[in-house]
């Protein structure tokens, strides 16, 4: 049993060297709270060392797709040479990492997703789910992995206040990513939430003030998480990131109120789509899966809808947005032994992309293959 995630020390040393040499550093994170909180805590760690971040990028899943994309690399290419660090994504971007390297970037991947067919060609990968990683706990959210990296980078220099401040975000990101709340995750959540009550971070203070502290800690924590997840990435910028890094309490109050309003609207939409799915599946109750899509549904809501349906019907659930030629969706498969990634692996010949975790994953394919996809999945889950 090893006590450190593979490459943790190597990556920490590389980042410290970059700070010393004043190299440019780019952070490229996923747009959900796990990705955003990962970016924020790594940025604050680097700043604490005296380093600077040259650019922070969050791709819009709906427009840009999940992961590193060539368009973003093209926008960033003037910043090369630089350290290009991916957070909560990247482990599947074999092709894009090649492009990044050709542009002059040195790529560091910090991820916690399953590795599929081959990993990007860079020695600087941290992902506890790598085949040859012997770290004892595999259930960390990406922000948990990143927190371990921040600890490694800062070493003894980490002050109690900084550690607590990073832990608050690590706790929220961990809860939000729906990883098991056991082992290290449980500790991160406990410590982070304890600190959250006295948070110095203006954004989190604004949430506690607006929602009411008592209310938040009596079970309404999810309100904060939903609100932070409600921000969309536009032109690679993300409101939740701007919020969490803002020093102005007044500005934070404004954004927090706006995000809460957006969340309430989103919850209403999720309810409507869920009802529509339920209406449709009454005629298909024999199928071992739930497989539904529509042109009017937003991809950003698909995961939430799939979660509710999968829980309610105890079946692997595939919810997708049907585009003009391609469809893109989210999968939830909550029962033990029903691995959604393994299931989609049997369809990889006609999927454009797919990936994620056994219980939560995603896919994209041509519309003409939808029927075939559904059939293969039904076959797979019948067994």
CA neighbor of 187 nearest in space, from 147, 127, 130: 147
Q: Report d(CA 331, CA 308) in Å as an integer.
A: 11
Please, which of residues 172-191 interact with Mn ion by CB under 5 A? Answer: 177
CA distances to 46, 47, 127 from 243, rounded to whole Å, are 19, 18, 28
Please, which of residues 216-245 interact with Mn ion by CB under 5 A? Answer: none
Closer to Mn ion by CB, 34 or 114: give it.
34
111 scored as a contact of Mn ion (CB under 5 A)? no
CB of 145 to Mn ion, least distance (A): 9
- Asked whether 256 and 210 are in contact (CB, 8 A), the reply is yes
Closer to Mn ion by CB, 88 or 127: give it.
88
The neighbour count for residue 84, using CB atoms within 10 Å, is: 29
CB of 86 to Mn ion, least distance (A): 12
Which residues is 317 bridged to in the sheet?
A: 290, 332
CB of 283 to Mn ion, least distance (A): 35
Please, which of residues 50-69 interact with Mn ion by CB under 5 A? Answer: none
CB of 268 to Mn ion, least distance (A): 26
Closer to Mn ion by CB, 34 or 133: give it.
34
Closer to Mn ion by CB, 127 or 239: give it.
127
**Cβ-based neighbours of 272, under 8 Å, separated by 6 or more:** none
Q: Find the part of the chain contacting Mn ion (CB under 5 A) among 57-65, 158-166, 169-177, 323-331.
A: 169-177
**Cβ-based neighbours of 92, under 8 Å, separated by 6 or more:** 67, 113, 115, 116, 353, 355
Closer to Mn ion by CB, 44 or 177: give it.
177
CA angle 79, 240, 221 (to 5 degrees): 145
- Asked whether 12 and 85 are in contact (CB, 8 A), the reply is no
Letters for 115-144 (x = contact with Mn ion by CB under 5 A, - = none) are ---------------------------x--
Closer to Mn ion by CB, 114 or 239: give it.
114
Closer to Mn ion by CB, 168 or 177: give it.
177
Q: Report d(CA 164, CA 183) in Å as an integer.
A: 19
Closer to Mn ion by CB, 306 or 377: give it.
306
Closer to Mn ion by CB, 188 or 277: give it.
188
CA distances to 23, 106, 143, 172 from 241, rounded to whole Å, are 23, 24, 14, 13
Q: If binding means CB under 5 A, how many residues of this protein chain bind Mn ion? A: 4
Please, which of residues 297-356 interact with Mn ion by CB under 5 A? Answer: none
Residue nearest to Mn ion (CB): 34
Q: Report d(CA 367, CA 77) in Å as an integer.
A: 33
CB of 142 to Mn ion, least distance (A): 4
CB of 191 to Mn ion, least distance (A): 20
CB of 32 to Mn ion, least distance (A): 7
Letters for 3-42 (x = contact with Mn ion by CB under 5 A, - = none) are -------------------------------x--------
Q: Report d(CA 320, CA 326) in Å as an integer.
A: 10
Which residues is 292 bridged to in the sheet?
A: 319
Among 88, 127, 168, 239, binds Mn ion (CB under 5 A): 88
CA distances to 85, 199, 278, 300 from 162, rounded to whole Å, are 22, 11, 46, 33
Binding site for Mn ion (CB under 5 A): 34, 88, 142, 177
């Amino acid at each position: 049993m090893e006590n450190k995630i593979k490459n943790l020390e190597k990556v920490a040393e590389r980042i410290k060297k970059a700070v010393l040499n004043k190299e440019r550093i780019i952070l490229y994170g996923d747009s959900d709270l796990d990705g955003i909180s990962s970016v924020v805590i790594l940025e604050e760690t680097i700043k604490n060392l005296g380093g600077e971040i040259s650019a922070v990028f969050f791709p819009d899943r709906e427009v840009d797709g999940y992961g590193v994309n060539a368009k973003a690399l093209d926008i960033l290419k003037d910043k090369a040479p630089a350290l290009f660090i991916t957070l909560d994504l990247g482990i599947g971007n074999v092709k894009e990492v090649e492009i990044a390297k050709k542009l002059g970037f040195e790529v560091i991947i910090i991820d916690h997703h399953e590795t599929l067919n081959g990993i990007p060609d860079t020695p600087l990968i941290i992902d506890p789910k790598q085949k040859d990683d012997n770290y004892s706990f595999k259930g960390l959210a990406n922000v948990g992995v990143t927190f371990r990296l921040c600890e490694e980078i800062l070493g003894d220099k980490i002050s109690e206040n900084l550690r607590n401040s990073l832990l608050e975000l690590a706790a929220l990101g961990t809860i939000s990513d729906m990883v098991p709340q056991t082992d290290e995750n449980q500790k991160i959540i406990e410590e982070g939430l304890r600190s959250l009550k006295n948070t110095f971070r203006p954004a989190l203070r604004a949430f506690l003030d607006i929602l009411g502290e008592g209310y938040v800690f009596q079970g309404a924590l999810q309100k904060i998480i939903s609100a932070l997840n409600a921000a969309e990435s536009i032109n690679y910028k993300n409101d939740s990131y701007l919020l969490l890094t803002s020093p102005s309490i007044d500005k934070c109050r404004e954004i927090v109120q706006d995000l809460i309003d957006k969340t309430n609207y989103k919850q209403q939409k999720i309810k409507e789509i869920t009802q529509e799915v339920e209406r449709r599946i009454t005629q298909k109750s024999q199928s071992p899966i739930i497989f539904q899509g529509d042109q009017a549904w937003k991809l950003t809501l698909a995961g939430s809808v799939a979660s509710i349906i999968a829980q309610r019907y105890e079946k692997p659930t595939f919810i997708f947005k049907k585009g003009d030629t391609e469809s893109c969706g989210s999968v939830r498969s909550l029962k033990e032994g029903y691995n959604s990634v393994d299931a989609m692996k049997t369809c990889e010949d006609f999927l454009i992309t797919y990936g994620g975790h056994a219980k939560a994953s995603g896919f994209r394919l041509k519309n003409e293959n939808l029927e075939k996809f559904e059939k293969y999945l039904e076959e797979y889950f019948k067994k």
